Structure 1
Amino acid sequence: MDLYEHQARQLFEEYGILVPRAEVTDSSKKAREIARRLGGRVVVKAQVKAGGRGRAGGVKLAADPAATELTARQILGMDIKGHRVRKVMVAEPVEAAEEFSVSYVLDRATGGFLALASARGGTEAGAAAVRRPERVARVPVDPAEGVTSSKAAGIAAAAGLPPQSVDTLVRLWQVLVREDALLVEVDPLVRTRQGRIVALDGRITLDRNARFRQARWGVEHTEHDDPLEAAAAARGLTYVRLDGEVGVIGNGAGLVMSTLDMVAGRGARPANFLDIGGGASARLLADGLSVILSDPSVRSVLVNVFGGITACDTVAEGIVQALDTVRLTRPLVVRLDGTNAARGRAILDERAHPLLEQAATMETAASRAAELAGEG
């Protein structure tokens, strides 16, 4: 269950993480009043559960209350990647000396978490990560140990974040654990000229299995705006829709994120994040393929699985059964590695679907999926 930015901001504030002063409204006239209370010059931000709001025109600076009313009127009602803007957040602007990005994400393959951090943040962070993936630090976090001050200092050092960020890294971990979250992300996390660390944006995904402890948000606040994300959630899938053309399925958050980077590095854009976890059953694969193929922007699909607890031959059998359930309408590239990989590849060879092909490595699989997407 994804929270809106203003809800994530509320949690950050409750846990002692610095955030800009802000208020939320569904009225352009009230936006004008909020701007007056905040000092006049503000940032107006569309409240939708989608990335790329800035590029879509959903985040704008307003010089004064009158401009704020006009800007809010322009943003309210916009359609951003299929999400209708019903509310805006009006926030005080913050001048940043440096921008970073930080997130904690569940890694189902290892049964732990990953800390992902970069000394680059903001709208160009994704492109920078593709050009220089080594700049994104990926630090495993043992759930039993958690993120202590010492662990946070290690994450900051690995990513090139300033020492002042350590306390915020610890507090973000507390949000993840105490609020039953699967993902906590801040991009950008900034250092101001005065040396303060401030979260300018936030994204939180809550674990639906802990819904009984999350009544504070209400059903209307945790429903998915995007119909594909809603369909995936109903099937128990960890799915996030992106704006690309290569559908991605993997087992484990770390592997999926590496696959997204690999696809982007081959000149294509990933269409989604989909983690089927360690138990890659036929039902999960069928549901995952069904959701991805329902996205009209998808031109090819990449399944990248490393066999561990679930062996590759079991995964291959699941893919075969899924193909009997789901009509494959776009090319499917499969890479299997790990336990019983040879047997798994043989099973897929026997299936011999005209749109199914295999790749020996993640690199060749990503290249082929990108090539097929380019061919349309």
Structure 2
Amino acid sequence: MCSHTCAPSTLLQRDSISKCSLCLCTWLNPRRWLNLQEYQSKKLMQDSGVAVQRFYVAHTASEALEAAKRLKAKEIVLKAQILAGGRGKGVFDSGLKGGVHLIKDPAVVGELAKKMLGFNLTTKQTPKEGVKVKTVMVAEALDISRETYFAILMDRACNGPVMVGSPQGGMDIEEVAASNPELIFKEVIDIFKGVQDDQALRMAANLGFKGPLQRQAADQIKRLYDLFLKVDATQVEVNPFGETPEGQVVCFDAKINFDDNAEFRQKSVFAMDDMSESDPTEMEAAKWDLKYIGMDGNIACFVNGAGLAMATCDIIDLHGGKPANFLDLGGGVKERQVYEAFKLLTADPKVEAILVNIFGGIVNCAIIANGITKACRELELKVPLVVRLEGTNVHEAKRILTESGLPITAAEDLDDAAKKAVAAIRK
């Protein structure tokens, strides 16, 4: 994560690559994040006493209609549940426009759900073909008289959790941070004491809550922190954290990021992971403890470590090439993993060359070399292969590659490897 003490929203994330909008440093998330649907996050919040809209989940049009009747609300919001933003402006292949609809007549909910469920919804964040909608959320629509922004996140610079808030919510918080940084407020939380009453009240006041609403907002802030700890979250972001004309403080939307290292004690949370929208190649890589990131170039990268992955991609780009993807092998390497990695890399039709860049600290280079030679023979590798190995048992590894008789191009260092990989695709 970025070392700056900036708002969480300054970390602009797309898939597994993030960039800090303040310092412009680029960093990689080396693990696949847990993805929850909106209704799942709201259920976790509801279970922790956080105020959210009343809602039901439906998988069929008849279930959606029944849910709308049970709500007995003046107005209902029907939301398609997919792991992508921009749903409100999306388009279904059924012809229906919009993945979010406000409805006053419950009878209409069933008809709209028929045009959502089982159809693909395309938004600015989905693949071109869209994502099939299997679930809809039927919720009570509440008027919002004022919108604010609130988040709790782990901050390295503070060695623990930090609250971040702004009285300007319901919009991209990045814009607020850039144009009105004085409207971003922070409170560092003592991990041993938790959120104190004076901190919660001060944050509520900074968000613009007044009178009884200030105490109500402070109570919600403390409940959100309880949730943050309870589920081992790395971030809980509520936007908008709003108030209604009736005097209620409500969390209208939330994004929760989880600590993957806590999976062993958060089994019920991780069991909710919706992998139906995940890249099948990423899922196959995960079976072998590999981390796969797809890109749109033509040089595949096989590395060990997220930092080395980023450096490899950068130097390929520096020499005029473009990475097609990369596989991060990690530390506990076995020959079979290397073989499976090559299967995944060569399955990408865009790949015209492969660059292997391994620095063997806890990785034995000879194991990598044996895996490479096995993969080259059994998969009958057709594209140029450039290999740079350094570290533990490297001399034995180079001997294995040299005596294999395979058309493998050796490289002395990373710069040399990138030059040779780019030259190989230009021949």
Match of residue 70, structure 1, among 111, 114, 117: 111
Residues 50-78 of structure 1: CA deviation (Å, up to 9, x unaligned)? 33333433222122123212332333331
Aligned partner of 2:70 among 13, 30, 37: 37
2:140 aligned residue: 92
Residue 211 of structure 1 pairs with residue 263 of structure 2:
yes
Q: What SS is found at the alignment partner of 2:182?
A: helix
Which consecutive unaligned segments of at least 5 residues does structure 2 have? 1-33, 91-97, 294-302, 316-321, 324-354, 359-413, 420-427
Deviation per residue, 1:251-289 (Å, 9 max, x gap): xxxxxxxxxxxxxxxxxxxxxxxxxxxxxx971224457
Alpha-carbon spacing, 1:178–1:27, altered in 2? closer, same or farther (3 Å): same
SS of the residue corresponding to residue 257 of structure 2 reads: strand
1:172 matches 2:220? no
Q: Which residue of 1 aligns with 2:241?
A: 189
Do structure 1's residue 48 and structure 2's residue 89 form an aligned pair? no
Summarize deviations over 1:12-57 as a string: whole Å, max 9, x none.
Answer: 2222221111101121222111111112631011222333333433
- Do residues 120 (structure 1) and 168 (structure 2) align? yes
2: CA distance between counterparts of 1:24 and 1:55? 21
Query: Residue 219 of structure 1: CA displacement?
Result: 3.1
* RMSD over aligned Cα atoms: 3.9
- What secondary structure is seen at the aligned counterpart in 2 of 1:16? coil
Q: How does 1:211-360 map to 2 (within 5 A)?
A: 211-217=263-269, 219=271, 221-223=273-275, 225-227=277-279, 283-287=305-309
* Contact 1:46–1:58 under 8 Å retained in 2: yes
Q: Given the alignment, which residue of 162, 168, 193 partners 1:145?
A: 193
Task: State which structure, 1 or 2, has the greater radius of gyration over its C-alpha atoms.
Answer: 2
Matched residues in 2 for 1:283 and 1:29: separation?
49
Aligned residues: 264
Aligned-partner SS, 2:305: helix
The whole-number CA distance in structure 1 between the counterparts of 2:64 and 2:168 is 31
Q: Which amino acid aligns with 1:72?
A: A
How far apart in 2 are the matches of 1:202 and 1:292? 34
- Quick check: 1:42–1:61 contact (8 Å CA) kept in 2? yes
Report the CA distance between 1:140 and its aligned residue. Answer: 2.8
Matched, 1:9 2:69: no
Offset of residue 179 of structure 1:
1.4
CA distance in 2, matches of 1:37, 1:195: 24
**Equivalent position amino acid for 1:39 in 2:** K
Q: 1:54 and 1:206 mapped to 2: Cα distance?
A: 26
Q: Distance in 2 between matches of 1:208 and 1:133?
A: 31
Query: Which residue of structure 1 lines up, in the alignment, with residue 12 of structure 2?
Result: none
For 2:260 and 2:189, how far apart are their aligned partners in 1? 22
1:189-210 Cα offsets, whole Å, 9 max, x none, are 2111222111111221222222
Instruction: Report if the CA contact (8 A) 1:2-1:49 is conserved.
Output: yes
Aligned-pair CA distance for 1:6:
1.2
Measure, in 2, the Cα distance between the counterparts of 1:236 and 1:17.
37
Structure 1, unmatched stretches of 5+, are 240-280, 294-299, 302-321, 326-349, 355-376
Considering Cα pairs closer than 8 Å and 6+ residues apart, tell me whether 1 or 2 has the greater RCO: 1
Give 1:344's aligned residue: none
AA of the residue aligned to 1:52:
G
The 3 A distance-change label for structure 1 pair 126 and 68 is farther
Counterpart residue type for residue 307 of structure 2: L
Secondary structure of the corresponding residue to residue 96 of structure 1: coil
Q: Distance in 1 between matches of 2:169 and 2:278?
A: 25
What is the percentage of aligned positions where both structures have the same residue?
30
- CA change 1:170–1:220 in 2 (3 A) is closer
Does structure 2 conserve the Cα–Cα contact (< 8 Å) formed by 1:120 and 1:128?
A: yes
Report the AA paired with residue 76 of structure 2: V
Cα deviation digits, residues 310-338 of structure 1 (max 9, x gap): xxxxxxxxxxxx9957xxxxxxxxxxxxx
Checking the alignment, whether the CA contact within 8 Å between 2:82 and 2:133 is kept in structure 1 is yes
Whole-Å separation in 1 of the counterparts to 2:161 and 2:192 = 11
The Cα shift of 1:223 comes to 3.7
Shift of 1:137: 2.0
Query: Structure 1 49/115 Cα, relative in aligned 2: closer, same or farther at 3 Å?
Result: farther
Q: 1:291 to 1:224 in 2, by over 3 A?
A: farther
- The structural deviation recorded for 1:150 is 1.7
SS in 2 for 1:54: helix
Name the counterpart of 2:368.
Answer: none
Q: Are the equivalent residues in 2 in contact too, given 1:286–1:323 (CA < 8 A)? A: no
Change (3 A) 1:5 1:289: farther
Summarize the Cα distance change of 1:46–1:123 in structure 2 as closer, same or farther, 3 Å threshold: farther
CA 1:73–1:48 in 2, change beyond 3 Å: closer, same or farther?
A: same
Residue identity opposite 1:151 in structure 2: Q
Alpha-carbon distance between aligned partners in 2 of 1:142 and 1:24, rounded to the nearest angstrom: 37
Q: Secondary structure at the match of 2:88?
A: coil
SS at 2:36 equivalent: coil
Q: Specify the alignment match of 2:102 in structure 1.
A: 61
Q: Distance in 2 between matches of 1:52 and 1:205?
A: 19
Question: Conserved in 2, the CA contact under 8 Å of 1:100 and 1:187?
Answer: yes
Change (3 A) 1:32 1:60: same
